[in-house]
Amino acid sequence: MTVPKLALTENTDAAVGKTRADVLVIGTLQGEDGPELAAGADVADAAFDGKLADVLGTLGATGKAEEIVKLPALGKLPAGVVLAVGLGKQKDGTVTAEQVRRAAGAAARALSGTDRAFVTLSALDLQATAEGVALGAYAFTEYRSAKGDGPLAKADLVSPAEGAPRDHKATLKAATAIAESVIIARDLINTPPNDLYPASFADRAKKLAEANGLDFEVLDEKALKRKGFGGILGVGGGSARLPRLLRVGWKPAKAGKKVALVGKGITFDSGGISIKPAAGMDHMTSDMSGAAAVLASVVLAAKLKYPVEVTAHIPLAENLPSGSAYRPGDVLTMYGGKTVEVLNTDAEGRLVLADAIVRAAEENPDYLIETSTLTGAQVVALGNRTAGVMGSDEFRDRVATIMQSTGEGGWAMPLPDELRADLDSRLADLANVSGHRWGGMLVAGIFLREFVAEGLPWAHIDIAGPSFNTSAPWGYTGKGGTGVPVRTIAAVLADIADQG
């Protein structure tokens, strides 16, 4: 785990002017006539005789989002370099938390190899800055023989001008814990499938559970067969590395509500007999992003001591073609007794999730949150950064709204009743896919709804695109696993703790 050491510095001109660092990070805004300095840049501006914005403009700065401009401090400041990072245009006269988070992340990425930076963006939003710096500095170098310069080692964050120091410390502690949990998910996603498979994922989960005082249970292939988890066994039957089902739980002394989390854990997805095209198949190492997210989320619930009982149910399998693999045309008997005709073995995620959803509902939770890289149709409909949120109407909208507020993005999607007929089977209770390509994300959500207990408020977050970044880094997001939607789940749990 690579999280810079984050510390608070008092927000006074004297404290800012005397804090030694290699780099001083300030924010700029995109104004009508060039860059404008954001809050927190006063000391740096004074060192340049009030003309820092003009100097930056001369160097080509505009203040646009994530723009990086460096200039030497020329002995005017304790730091040797001033790094100006763009926040973009103000929205209704304010700078949003996500603008600050992305700017902080972009700055942290630009500071690779730096020992210590002093960051003034926290004058705008302490939590967003801390999260952005920690996540932007992330680098997964486990498998590189040459590790490079390494990420930013330490960041001093100026405390906001308003609020009590105790509150600032609590905010920094929470932001650091959230970032650490996102990084737990990123590390799992970025680990290659020859080292991360059902049994090894279970071993890592057990260590995290023991380190954080969580309940832990694992069902191996024998227990899964004995208890009738036909979906997980069917999907995982083609691999020599057999499936698992984990239960990881946080139970505080006084819990107001019970929340079940379910995350898809296909540690590698070839598509099975309905095999995927070779191009891009290496990205299918990320098909366990949902499992990584819910595991990291229950760890976070324990770290922040949420007054909510949180239990993660994590089905793990490798979907490979072999002589023992399940086939198109097979009928699986799922946990709980429903039968499913398999029409496409690449629609495997919904099968393992269905088993886990039924098991989760046996514990009578007040809410169910499920997340997975479920469908390529999510990317077609919403792109690579916006998750589709489906489920029971009220809770779905609540989760989607919170997801948007965290900056992770999310959009409420319907589950039209007329699409249920597309899953009718000639042999079983239902088929695992429809007979056409239309509304694929919604049809998958309808399939999952068949296994949700009646009356249970639930939300499914399809993160097929947002969970894994295959393009250039941006903001606080590098290439590879993103950790979406850990921050959303954390915010939903906090909201449930507060609102019920």
Listing DSSP states for 58-121 in one string gives HTT----TT-EEEEE-TTSSSSSEEEEEE----BTTB--HHHHHHHHHHHHHHTTT-SEEEE-G
Listing DSSP states for 359-412 in one string gives HHHTT--SEEEEEE---HHHHHHH-SS--EEEESHHHHHHHHHHHHHHTS--EE
**Cα three-residue angle 483-487-493, rounded to 5 degrees:** 135
> What is the rounded distance in angstroms from the CA atom of residue 250 to the CA atom of residue 214?
5
> What is the rounded distance in angstroms from the CA atom of residue 285 to the CA atom of residue 302?
27
- Whether 449 is a known active-site residue: answer no
The region that residue 283 occupies, defined by phi over 0 for left and psi between -120 and 50 for alpha, beta otherwise, is: alpha
Q: Look up residue 367 and give its two tokens.
A: 């809410």
86: nearest Cα among 59, 64, 57, 70: 64
> What is the rounded distance in angstroms from the CA atom of residue 185 to the CA atom of residue 106?
20
CA atoms within 13 A on the CB side of 469: 17
**Helix, strand, or coil (residue 267):** strand
> What is the rounded distance in angstroms from the CA atom of residue 244 to the CA atom of residue 318?
10
Give the containing element (helix H, strand E) for 138: none
- Whether 437 is a known active-site residue: answer no
The single residue of 276, 338, 420, 449 carrying the catalytic annotation is 276
Count of beta carbons in the 10 Å neighbourhood of residue 457: 18
**Cα three-residue angle 433-290-280, rounded to 5 degrees:** 70
Strand partners, 339: 333
The single residue of 244, 247, 303, 350 carrying the catalytic annotation is 350
Q: Which residues are catalytic?
A: 276, 350
